Homo-oligomer: A and B are copies of this chain.
Amino acid sequence: MRVTIEDVAKKAGVSKSTVSRVMNQNYHHITEEKRQKVFQAIRELDYRPNALAKGLKQMKTSTIGVILSNLQNPFWMKVLEGIEDLCQEEGYSLMIVNSRDNLAREEENVKGFLMRQLDGLIINPSLGQNPVFQSLEAYHVPYVFLNRKVQDIQADTIVVDNIKGVSLAVDHLVGLERRRIAVFLYPPEGISPRLERIEGYLKALRANRIEVREDWIKIVTNREDCRREMQVLLEAQERPNAILSTNNMLTLDILESLKESGYRVPEQIGVVGYDETEWSKHLDPPLTTIVQPAYEMGKAAVKRLIERIRAKEQKVQLAAETMELEPSLIVRRSCGGLGD
């Protein structure tokens, strides 16, 4: 039934040690004859070493854990692809879990990974902090934060320049003579990209000498909310001529709300989205959007994590680093102005 190294050893007429050495290409002092016998036995029995036993002995599982805060969002699927590709290349397996922006679940996930002796963790934190992250330090397990910064913890963090992202969008709108820009966002709640995007909005307005209107900063939590706020916005005497969305899911709600109110995009109001998705170009009208290098983020996280794993193996200290990637803008028709 379950084949162990002992079965192979018996079949090949050698000791367990010899089989192990052959398995791990530790051919140091092993005669060709025995080696062949072992190979033969392995093949005949379809032997696969038990990863638990191996990991237990070697104190190394060759597995990286990934905690994502929202698997539903296609943005993360692209990040994941980057993570997968580099891990595969480097011989690491992946264990992926979904915290769904829930602190308790996130804590469970971290603890589960610690117990499993994973070699390293990539975490997209659900909030700006979580007490369980302290354990990571205590356990000396290498880890990298992704996309969101965590307060009070000195750790490697891969992020995208959100200030820059938003300012690309604002500058684009201003260039099209759309200076009356409202912004929609989810409640910041200490989540760094949200905070930075609103900060970027304020900065970019200032840079363009546009006066900030508090009532054009709309914090919404769900579709209903979005719809309501949109009505308030559109029924005022002074209306914006552009809306900046700060999240790809939110963008869909914004477009729907506008459609319901009978507003035409981009003729009456322009819209800029955040994140490029499969469907961005299929929306009506095709969406101008700020794109974050998702795939590269995934790769960068793995790259840094592996550096850290190596450093730990070789007992060298590594200073915590924040790596900032560059966003860009894809111009389509949702802000008008372009001939396209």
Contacts and interface: CB of A to CB of B under 8 A. Distances in A.
Interface stretch (A93-101, A159-167, A168-176): A93-101
Interface string A76-96: 011011001000000001111
Contacts of A281: 256
Interface stretch (A46-54, A188-196, A214-222): A46-54
Given A48-B111, A256-B282, A282-B283, 12 more contacts: A1-B139, A2-B139, A52-B52, A52-B117, A53-B56, A72-B77, A74-B74, A80-B98, A95-B95, A279-B282, A282-B284, A283-B284
A114 B94 CA distance: 15
Contacts of A115: 48-51
Given A77-B71, A84-B98, A116 B279 contact: no
Interface string A48-77: 111111011000010000000001101001
23 contacts: A1-B140, A48-B111, A50-B115, A51-B112, A51-B117, A52-B56, A52-B116, A53-B56, A71-B77, A71-B80, A71-B81, A72-B77, A80-B98, A93-B97, A94-B97, A95-B95, A279-B279, A279-B282, A279-B283, A282-B283, A283-B283, A283-B284, A284-B284
A255 interface: yes
- Total copies of the chain: 2
Interface residues of A, number: 46
A235 interface: no
A107 to B, nearest CB: 12
Contacts of A116: 51-52
B279 A50 contact: no
